[in-house]
Amino acid sequence: MSLIPTYVCDTIPPARLATFALLSDPSMDFDQPAIFSDNEPPSTSPKHHNDHQENGSPPPSQGPPPRKLCVRHQRMADEGTNLKLQQSLDALPVEEREAVNAVWSNFSSSSHARRALILQGLLTMCCFSQLSLLTDQLAHLIRIDPFAILPREVGIKILGYLDATSLCRAAQVARRWKCLADDDILWKGICEQHIGQKCHKCGWGLPILEKKRKTYRSLCPPLSSFPSSTSTLKRGPQDSSDLASPPMKRQRSEIDLSPPGRPVASSSNRSLTQPTELDVSSTLLAPNPAAPQSLSVTRPWKDVYSERMTIERNWRRGRCTVRTLKGHTDGVMCLQFSETLSRPAFPVLITGSYDRTVRVWNLETGVELHCLKGHTRAVRALQFDEVKLITGSMDNTIKVWDWRSGKCIRTLTGHTQGVVCLNFDSNVLASGSADSTVRVWNLRTGGAFTLRGHTEWVNAVQLWDSNPSSLQTSSTDTSLFDVQGSSSLLGASLQIDPGKMLFSASDDGTIRLWDLTLRSCVKVFTGHVGQVQSMKLLLADECEDDPVEYAMPGNVTSRFASEQTVDIALSSQPMRKKPILISGSLDNTIRLWDIETGQVIRTFFGHIEGVWAVASDELRLVSGSHDRTIKVWSREEGRCMTTLVGHQAAVSCLALGEDKIVSGSDDCDIKVWSFSE
């Protein structure tokens, strides 16, 4: 019976055709060993096999071990190719078997040059049917798995040049590929490239999800229980059936209405079930001493990326769930929420309304926690932090609250008409009014001064530290919040830190930039043809339009990094870039401004009526309009990605989070648009 040898790599001399008789010959030269099918010794004839069994002696020595196989022949041995070929040969008659074996033996014993010549001759004699067979066979034979022969480190280096989609596809090829493609080193690099910023290669950016980072950093159980005059206002609730009439100022009568029960309604493509209202006490927001200690939780970087990619895709495709929070009895004019407070553990939303109340909500459950009463007319502006809440009202006053207990700490006066907007930082409070002025309060000393220049209502103010390195660090718990009662505190020191600037937007269609140290206007931005209602300043580390590279962190060395290490954008220190101002106006447009030149960079068209509110972060821009819609924009491309419909009246205010939008409307409702589900 003829035998099929398995040959060694072509880089060494060809093997001899061996038979069992030759192997039995002790004079056999083993300098050129033969390697048989699948590294197995050839089958013997029945006669020789029986002789060895009868004699009880072991089979003769097989000689020295075969030479190491090349990649191709090793794969043939693993796949059993030679065994299949041997079976096909055994099916032939003896004469044909010997003829085929002779051809193979001659080719095996030939040199490289002779092999090439033999192959060329065989190809010349082949018809198309044989050439087609050869083509099919070669397509399989010349394939090679690079990760099967390369070191793991080299394989990971190669895969490091792929994007996330290509890595996921590579993981589906084979188990070996999946093991490499799922390596934490690769996905850590992709997370660094995308989370918290837009990738300069693919244009995709992923949210940081600060709330989830804190959740994994410290696992805490959820809290289930807790201890009449006529005025000129900016606008009122509009007739839901009339969208053609432009928004305008008009007289409104504010009637004191007792707040009814506050159920939480749910609406949208996918409705969410809301919990019933819980008993609320003044100890609601107190820290929980029985809370467990922080637990260490680790996650693969691929899971971190996948979680954030799902949210980003929802943003781009407009997939969201909507919850409606009910409680206000008149239009909602201002709101702010925070998901990163140290206490309480849940996200907090605070809203202000024409009904003269300020309401504090548990944004996670939709339960109203406090209803702050004290203003005698509409609440038009608010801002809060860990310590305090400051509100501005059409009753000409500004109030400072302890929003956890619901108590008013202080009332500030100074404006002669209603307070329409405000903004504060650690040292300065600025407020804009219907009296066309901007009032600046020094929170460290209690001093205040007035900026004059606008000719109409001041609708938005925004502080800006143009030179942060020169700022002084001071505590804000000074006499301004320690003294009870109302006072303008004009006699106190008015010193403002160098570099402190202020933007103000007005009904006169202009935006002004003020130097608070000089107390003078240094630039006027003109371009809007309608009243400018809102502004958003993209600070240095938020602006993506200036092509400056980010500094990449490299302090993660563990294979399975903790979720705590998703401080990618937070722990890194990006290079300072030029800030950009965004404004929304009743001329139906949104504009991006170059602060240095005062020129418009880009104008967004899409709303069919005036824009009342704008918000933006590192990844996207959103706007709320009198046409009852909310639009999500690509800031770099200037196009609308998603339009959200649900409010029954003008969208008067909104706030943007990493996975949600919270909006308030003249229909008295607050809607939470969540893209994380």
Treating both helix axes as pointing N-terminal to C-terminal, what angle do 184-194 and 301-317 enclose, rounded to 10 degrees?
40
Domain final residue, candidates 317, 350, 365: 317
State the Cα–Cα distance between residues 348 and 380, nearest whole angstrom.
19
State the Cα–Cα distance between residues 612 and 625, nearest whole angstrom.
5
Same domain, 367 and 442: yes
User: Cβ-count burial of 225 within 10 angstroms (0-12 exposed, 13-18 middle, 19+ buried)?
Assistant: exposed
Same domain, 330 and 424: yes
* Dihedral sign (CA 533, 538, 544, 545): positive
Same domain, 308 and 366: no
Q: Which amino acid is at 538?
A: L
Within a domain: residue 392?
A: yes
Same domain, 338 and 310: no
Same domain, 406 and 437: yes
Cis peptide before 344 (omega within 30 of 0): yes
* Domain CATH number, residue 385: 2.130.10.10
SS3 call for 150: coil
CA distances for 180 relative to 125, 194, 408, 499, 600, angstroms: 45, 21, 60, 51, 48
Same domain, 313 and 414: no
Same domain, 309 and 326: no
Within a domain: residue 226?
A: no
| Tokens of residue 262, six digits | 């506050």
SS3 call for 106: helix
The confidence score (pLDDT) of residue 269 equals 41
Find the length of the chain.
Answer: 677
The confidence score (pLDDT) of residue 134 equals 87
- Its domain, for residue 157, covers 150-192+302-317
State the Cα–Cα distance between residues 458 and 504, nearest whole angstrom.
7
Within a domain: residue 379?
A: yes
Within a domain: residue 474?
A: no
CB 467 within 8 A of CB 498: yes
State the Cα–Cα distance between residues 499 and 426, nearest whole angstrom.
14
State the Cα–Cα distance between residues 130 and 128, nearest whole angstrom.
5
The confidence score (pLDDT) of residue 20 equals 37
* Domain CATH number, residue 160: 1.20.1280.50
CB 305 within 8 A of CB 190: yes
Within a domain: residue 8?
A: no
Within a domain: residue 334?
A: yes
The confidence score (pLDDT) of residue 547 equals 38
Tell me how crowded residue 305 is: count the other CB atoms within 10 A of its CB.
21
DSSP bridge pairs for 472: none
Same domain, 313 and 413: no
Within a domain: residue 4?
A: no
Smallest CA-to-CA distance from 342 within 405, 291, 279 is with 291
The confidence score (pLDDT) of residue 357 equals 96
Instruction: State which residues of the chain have pLDDT below 50.
Output: 1-58, 60-61, 214-284, 286-296, 471-479, 483-492, 541-574
Same domain, 179 and 326: no
Q: What is the pLDDT of residues 506-558, one digit of tens each?
A: 999 999 999 999 999 999 999 999 999 999 998 754 444 443 333 333 333 33
Domain final residue, candidates 317, 345, 363: 317
pTM to 2 decimals?
A: 0.67
Q: Which amino acid is at 551?
A: A
Same domain, 328 and 307: no
CB 288 within 8 A of CB 358: no
Same domain, 325 and 177: no
* Overall domain count for the chain: 2
Within a domain: residue 30?
A: no
Same domain, 520 and 641: yes
The confidence score (pLDDT) of residue 625 equals 96
Domain final residue, candidates 265, 284, 317: 317
SS3 call for 647: coil
Quick one: three-class SS letters along 546-597? CCCCCCCCCCCCCCCCEHHHCCHHHHCCCCCCCCEEEEEECCCEEEEEECCC
The confidence score (pLDDT) of residue 362 equals 94
Q: Which secondary structure element, helix H or strand E, spans residue 136, and what is its range?
A: helix 128-141
* CA 420 to centroid of chain Cα atoms: 33
